């Protein structure tokens, strides 16, 4: 009887501990697992991490995504891989003697050469799991299997600039399935006019602070995953290209050793909203923001678009690189990259200016010599 009571008490204690842990988010669950042996044991339950993933990434509710996550190691591993952000430490810098990060011996054939069979990757290996939140409310989710419009191993995709577009309104048509709107009901501050917004920027600040983005790339063949977005915007532009548009930039710095000359690449994720009128509201014009673009592309340090072949290799490399939960550290490396990029561009301009001056001087000398010979 006493043994039965002890077993019942132990079972009840485990149930209570489980009930506590299932209410925690991922970071809190990970911290609780370090506090005691009981929490550590119970925190290994896969269903706890499945709940943590569902609350953070609504796309993981889908049956096909759940099957995918199970096939690459489960929800606990998926969370550990995708919650931290990528940190690329190998950012080159312009040397004091003016040397550029692009090595002189790197030729065009190296940059656009044949693909090594050991490095081969195909677009169908990559799955995009995308979730957009505004003030903790999910406003858009998308799962893209493979890369749209990639037409095979040796097709145009591998030689053209790499780009993934999740939305397309270029034809001007209205597609209810793709129509993503943010309104005052979602927490947007109302504005009386676009002119007023240009002056105070209230809507822009609210959007910049409230919007969050996760863009997870999964390689189903290698069973690896990583989040390429920066959660919060790294920058943006108000009223560009028109008064009613807002552009936000997310992304990360990805390692590209032996893939690109500069050894790193910038993953640029662009999110664009446009102000639309929805009728007259109380106190002024009722407005909403329509999501008109959500795209990803890769650029090298010179600002050139990376082609499809090299982009796939960079993405493959990124899935196995270092991660960090320290968001300030992630921002620090992003700023270091921007600094190195600016130095590189300035040095390139100086070199080009010097070459232009030499060309002008040599051209004048040739013309002068010709004139001298013609006169005499």
Domain ranges of the chain: 2-65, 108-346
- What b/e readout covers 70-100, taking b as 16+ CB neighbours within 10 angstroms? eebeebbbbbbbbbbbbbbeebbebeeeeeb
DSSP string, 4-56: HHHHHHHHHHHHHHHHHHTTS-HHHHHHHTTT-HHHHHHTT-HHHHHHHHHHH
* Predicted pLDDT at 173: 40
How far, in whole angstroms, is CA 289 from its chain's centroid? 22
The whole-angstrom separation of Cα 73 and Cα 58 is 19
Torsion of CA 339, 343, 345, 348, to 10 degrees: -160
pTM of the model: 0.82
Asked whether the CA dihedral 66, 71, 76, 82 is positive or negative, the reply is negative
Nearest C-alpha neighbor of 290 from the set 213, 181, 133:
181
- Which among 281, 277, 279 has a CA at the least distance from the CA of 289? 277
What 8-state DSSP symbol labels residue 123? G
Q: Are 139 and 59 in contact (CB under 8 A)?
A: no
Positive or negative: CA dihedral 320, 325, 330, 332? negative
Angstrom distance (rounded) from CA 84 to CA 137: 21
Write phi, then psi, for 115 (nearest 5 degrees): -85, 130
- pLDDT tens per residue, the chain (376 residues)? 333 333 433 444 777 877 778 888 888 888 888 778 877 788 788 888 999 999 999 999 999 999 999 999 999 999 999 999 998 777 766 555 556 566 655 554 555 445 554 457 889 999 999 999 999 899 999 999 998 877 655 567 888 899 999 986 443 444 445 689 998 888 888 877 888 888 888 899 999 999 999 999 999 999 999 999 999 999 999 887 788 899 999 999 999 988 988 888 999 999 999 988 755 545 555 578 999 999 999 999 888 899 999 999 999 999 998 898 888 888 888 888 888 888 877 777 776 655 555 555 565 555 455 454 545 4
């Amino acid at each position: 009887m006493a043994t039965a009571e002890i077993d019942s008490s132990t079972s009840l204690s485990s149930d209570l501990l489980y009930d506590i842990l299932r209410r925690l988010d991922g970071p809190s669950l990970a911290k609780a697992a370090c506090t005691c042996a009981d929490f550590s044991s119970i925190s290994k339950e896969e269903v706890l991490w499945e709940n943590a993933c569902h609350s953070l990434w609504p796309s993981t509710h889908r049956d096909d995504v759940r099957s995918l996550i199970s096939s690459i190691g489960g929800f606990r591993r998926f969370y550990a891989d995708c919650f931290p952000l990528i940190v690329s430490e190998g950012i080159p810098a312009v040397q004091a003697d003016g040397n550029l990060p692009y090595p002189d011996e790197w030729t065009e054939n190296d940059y656009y050469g044949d693909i090594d069979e050991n490095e081969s990757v195909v677009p169908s290996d990559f799955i995009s799991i995308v979730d957009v939140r505004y003030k903790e409310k999910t406003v858009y989710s998308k799962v893209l299997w493979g890369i749209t419009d990639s037409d095979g191993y040796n097709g145009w995709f591998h030689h053209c600039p790499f780009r993934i577009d999740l939305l397309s309104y270029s034809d001007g048509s209205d597609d209810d399935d793709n129509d993503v709107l943010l309104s005052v009901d979602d927490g947007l501050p109302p504005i009386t006019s676009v002119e007023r917004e240009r002056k105070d920027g209230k809507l822009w600040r609210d959007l910049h602070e409230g919007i969050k983005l996760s863009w997870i790339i999964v390689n189903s063949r290698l069973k690896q995953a990583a989040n390429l977005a920066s959660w919060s915007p790294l920058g943006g532009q108000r009223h560009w290209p028109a008064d009613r548009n807002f552009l936000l930039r997310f992304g990360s710095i990805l390692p590209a050793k032996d893939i690109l000359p500069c050894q790193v690449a910038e993953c640029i994720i662009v999110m664009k909203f446009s102000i639309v009128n929805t009728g007259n509201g109380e106190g002024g014009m009722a407005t909403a923001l329509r999501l008109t673009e959500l795209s990803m592309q890769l650029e090298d340090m010179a600002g050139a678009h990376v082609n499809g072949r090299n982009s796939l290799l960079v993405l493959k490399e990124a899935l196995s690189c270092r991660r960090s939960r320290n968001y300030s550290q992630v921002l620090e490396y992003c700023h270091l990259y921007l600094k190195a990029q600016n130095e590189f561009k300035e040095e390139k301009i100086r070199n080009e200016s010097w070459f232009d001056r030499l060309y002008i001087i040599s051209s004048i000398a040739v013309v002068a010599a010709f004139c001298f010979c013609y006169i005499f």
